């Protein structure tokens, strides 16, 4: 059979809630914030999962090139990192995946005028559940390690800009994040973040996000 005569298969239908056969989309109830469950393709040799696809993820709000990729290691269970964000013009989207262990991943809506301002959502990410969290610009992000030796992979739509970074205290009662373990091992930087209680904080200017 010549190459010209090889029949071409029509692509399989994509089930509702998926942007492709590779990602199941799990909306989190805050505009633009979605969890993505990667679909594993397996055979006798092993398996493959797709970590990122610009074309497919544009359908759920990722519209920029990947500007930076970071890999973090958190040694001790209970450690909290956060809550971090960058302000315009360096506001960033993040796609966060867990490569080892498990974390409780948290995103807080800080967008000015948002009907869900200061609301948060949390998703367990682990090396086993193949779930990532896509966090749009205008959100603060943090996590708690649920296991020792947790490793995360971050894709960023903007490079780290030290002059435009800010943070909120992860135990701020105005956020009321329900951390699953006692908060442990905060860095000096994260411990020094101001609490919003009694402070005049109206959020950060929103940039475009796509509602699901």
d(CA 38, CA 198): 41
Known catalytic residue at 120: no
Strand partners, 24: 18, 37
Terminal Cα-to-Cα distance of the chain (whole angstroms): 45
SS3 11: coil
Q: Quote the CA–CA distance of 121 and 49 in Å, as a whole number.
A: 25
In terms of C-beta density within 10 A (0-12 exposed, 13-18 middle, 19 or more buried), how is residue 183 classed? middle
Check if 154 is active-site: yes
Q: Which of 84, 156, 169, 193 is catalytic?
A: 84
Phi, psi for residue 95 in degrees, rounded to 5: -120, 115
**Residue of 63, 71, 90, 154 with catalytic role:** 154
Q: What is the CA radius of gyration of the chain?
A: 19
Catalytic residues: 84, 154
């Amino acid at each position: 059979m010549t190459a010209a005569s090889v029949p071409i298969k029509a692509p399989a239908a994509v089930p509702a809630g998926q942007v492709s056969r590779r990602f199941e989309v799990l909306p989190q109830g805050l505009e633009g914030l979605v969890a993505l469950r990667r679909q594993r393709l397996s055979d006798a040799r092993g398996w493959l999962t797709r970590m990122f696809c610009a074309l497919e993820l544009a359908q759920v709000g990722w519209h920029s090139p990947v500007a930076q990729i970071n890999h973090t290691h958190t040694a001790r269970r209970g450690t909290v990192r956060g809550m971090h964000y960058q302000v315009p013009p360096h506001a960033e989207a993040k796609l966060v995946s867990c490569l080892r262990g498990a974390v409780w991943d948290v995103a807080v809506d800080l967008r000015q005028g948002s009907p869900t301002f200061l609301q948060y959502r949390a998703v367990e990410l682990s090396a086993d559940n193949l779930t990532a969290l896509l966090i749009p610009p205008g959100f603060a992000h943090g996590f708690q390690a649920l296991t020792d030796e947790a490793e995360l992979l971050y894709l960023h739509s903007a490079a780290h800009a030290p002059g435009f970074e800010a943070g909120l205290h992860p135990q701020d009662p105005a956020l009321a994040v329900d951390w699953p373990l006692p908060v442990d091992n905060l860095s000096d930087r994260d411990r020094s973040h101001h609490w919003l209680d009694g402070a005049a904080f109206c959020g950060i200017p929103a940039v475009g996000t796509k509602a699901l």
